Structure 1
Amino acid sequence: MDTLPIARTIHRHIDIGDVRVFFRESQPDRPDAPVLLLLHGFPSGSHQFRRLIDVLGARYRLVAPDHPGFGRTVAPVDFTYTFDRLADVTEGFVHALGLVRFVVYVFDFGAPIGFRLAERHPERIAGLVVQNGNAYVEGLSADAREFIALRPETPGALERIRVLLTLEGTRMQYETGVPDPERLAPDAWLLDQVYLDLPGRKDAQVALALDYRSNVERYERWQHWLRTHTPPTLITWGVGDPFFPEPGARAYLRDLPDAELHLFDTGHFALETHLGEIAPLIAGFLDRVWAGPVPRAA
């Protein structure tokens, strides 16, 4: 019986220090298959890439961890939730899996984690897939700027953050900017909410929300990194994103004029509605990046 080229995917944990990181990884037939590290965003987890892994993972090695505070990853109760610490765990994860060189998919919270990793190990970054992952002040909506400006001492700040952590807030992030919400599977935001409602998770998300300003403070450094290293870059962007509007996508071209830009009439979670358009773009991009010899894992 013939089979369709759907990925064989494993789901397991690996200990990075005192953090037990859950991840999904496809197992292509080629041992030297191109590697794509998938860094998810808020309020989701590696499950947001499940369909992308299905359609591309038979040909490429796709690796998607859950960040601490998300999904099935387990962090100790005294874990400090900052973007620096999330990057520390991701750096350890990459080292533990022996990922020598890879393309990194940066989305939402995954972007500041990925750019920190790129600063620390530019030699590992073969290219970037940027999907609604911001690195420019132009890419912050008015609501996003207000949100980032919140401080613990700001009256009502914690309450405003926690509203975003409710089922209504999670669903809003999926539906805003999507012309046809019937294309969205409700399972996605319902599963996100299950993980958000786990003990301690909302406190972790509040801490990360209050730390988001540390990312904006690094924007100029990341832009310098882009200009200096000029990684091959594919940009796919949902223009209806309520947090990161279209100017944030176009801003990359200022530092990466050869980047490939594709805009889609959808919201923040573009893969949920435009997988059929975005997956072939990623496949073509990976093929071009890996046109030469592919480094094997150590």
Structure 2
Amino acid sequence: MAIQVVVPHIRHRHTEVDGVRVFYRESLPAVGGDDAPVLLLLHGFPSASHQFRRLMDALGAHFRIVAPDYPGFGHSDVPGSSTTGGPFTYTFDRLADITEGFVRQLGLSRFVMYVFDFGAPVGFRLATRHPEWIAGLVVQNGNAYEEGLSPQARDFIALRPEQPGAADTVRSLLTLPATRGQYEGGTVDPELVAPDGWTLDQHFLDLPGRTQPQLDLAFDYHSNVALYPRWQEWLRTHTPPALIVWGTGDMFFPEPGARAYLRDLPDAELHLFGTGHFALEDHLPQIAPLVAGFVDRAWTAADRPGEARGIRVR
């Protein structure tokens, strides 16, 4: 039996945005060329674009996929924090500024946006600034509703730098047991979760200069909750095509956060999986075809009515 394998070319690149060297991964699609749909992947904590490597391998031959690392994460620059006298302010507004500049630098004018964890507050800031950019929205354990916050998440968001012990609480989340726990927590079969993800995440977390940016972002997370009503209004007003895939065992963002999207996007596709926060780790075979089909439909509806590309992902 002849087996046809289409393997994408993934480029590993840097570009400079506002003086920050930003690393990113980009697939070069074998199908569609310059007309191929564009998918922007926005990663979460404590990871970087490497968390999407397997998804890019699965879909990169069909779509142009772009996945940047935020400043302070992965292979991007880690400019010194303004908290300690450095030049960069680590807030979610600033991460969104850099990501916005990155999108402009690459000349992306329209894309389907995949948001996960930290990617949701970064991505929704982009969407409210530039609704014309968003051809569709894939939400994977990326919260925008108060009911989607677990008690543990609420306690975390309530932390302030002046509180005794608050910084130590955040630092405890930057350790290997906590990082590994984010990957394996809530999964049914931890053997399906490769150790590569949490090992690489921890490598970056342990590098010099990485702790303060994470502390700053942790203490800024409350700014995201304050913007939830604005993001929900954007969803109701612009009604982007949406695919919601969610690990129901997420210790931070439980299942009600997934269902809450249907209030504002009643036509969204919702798929729940019995796994944890990093749902792609053990449910890629189920999630990748959903993403492929959704991107194709959203792109076709926006730009090529009546035409379908018939992508299959095995």
Give TM class, smaller chain.
Answer: over 0.9
Change (3 A) 1:246 1:292: closer
> Which residue matches 2:63?
60
> Which residue matches 1:271?
280
1:199 to 2:208 alignment = yes
Long gaps (5+) in structure 2: 81-86, 305-314
Aligned length: 295
> Which residue matches 1:108?
117
Alpha-carbon displacement from aligned partner over 1:185-210 (angstroms, at most 9, x marks no partner): 01110000001111111110010000
Q: In 2, distance between residues paired with 1:66 and 1:172?
A: 22
> Which residue matches 2:229?
220
> Which residue matches 2:10?
9
Given residue 222 of structure 1, which amino acid in structure 2 is its aligned partner? W
Given residue 281 of structure 2, which amino acid in structure 1 is its aligned partner? E
Long gaps (5+) in structure 1: none
1:31 to 2:40 alignment = no
1:168 to 2:171 alignment = no
Displacement of 1:17 after TM fit?
1.4
Displacement of 1:293 after TM fit?
6.4
1:209 to 2:210 alignment = no
RMSD of aligned Cα (Å) = 1.3
> Which residue matches 1:177?
186
Alpha-carbon displacement from aligned partner over 1:11-58 (angstroms, at most 9, x marks no partner): 010001111000000001321100000000000000000000001000
Contact in 1 for aligned 2:172/2:178 (Cα 8 Å): yes
Contact in 2 for aligned 1:52/1:279 (Cα 8 Å): yes
Q: In 1, distance between residues paired with 2:107 and 2:135?
A: 15
Displacement of 1:76 after TM fit?
2.3
Contact in 1 for aligned 2:188/2:275 (Cα 8 Å): yes
> Which residue matches 1:123?
132
Runs of 4+ in structure 1 displaced over 4 angstroms? 292-295
Q: In 1, distance between residues paired with 2:18 and 2:3?
A: 43
3-state SS of paired residue (1:291) = helix
Q: In 2, distance between residues paired with 1:240 and 1:220?
A: 25
Displacement of 1:212 after TM fit?
0.2
Q: In 2, distance between residues paired with 1:2 and 1:186?
A: 29
TM-score by length of 1: 0.97
Q: In 2, distance between residues paired with 1:83 and 1:251?
A: 23
Change (3 A) 1:221 1:293: closer
Contact in 2 for aligned 1:22/1:73 (Cα 8 Å): yes
Q: How does 1:84-99 map to 2 (within 5 A)?
A: 84-99=93-108
Alpha-carbon displacement from aligned partner over 1:99-121 (angstroms, at most 9, x marks no partner): 01000001000000000000110
- Residue among 238, 258, 270 paired with 2:267: 258
Given residue 117 of structure 1, which amino acid in structure 2 is its aligned partner? L
Question: Greater shift after overlay, 284-293 or 204-213?
Answer: 284-293
> Which residue matches 2:311?
none
1:44 to 2:47 alignment = yes
Q: In 1, distance between residues paired with 2:68 and 2:171?
A: 25
Question: Greater shift after overlay, 132-141 or 70-79?
Answer: 70-79
Displacement of 1:2 after TM fit?
7.4
3-state SS of paired residue (1:218) = helix
Q: In 2, distance between residues paired with 1:293 and 1:161?
A: 42
Contact in 2 for aligned 1:34/1:294 (Cα 8 Å): no
Alpha-carbon displacement from aligned partner over 1:236-276 (angstroms, at most 9, x marks no partner): 00000000000000000000000000000000000000000
Contact in 2 for aligned 1:18/1:75 (Cα 8 Å): no
Q: In 2, distance between residues paired with 1:24 and 1:219?
A: 29
Contact in 2 for aligned 1:18/1:76 (Cα 8 Å): no
Given residue 228 of structure 1, which amino acid in structure 2 is its aligned partner? T
Displacement of 1:3 after TM fit?
5.8
Displacement of 1:161 after TM fit?
0.4
Contact in 1 for aligned 2:143/2:257 (Cα 8 Å): yes
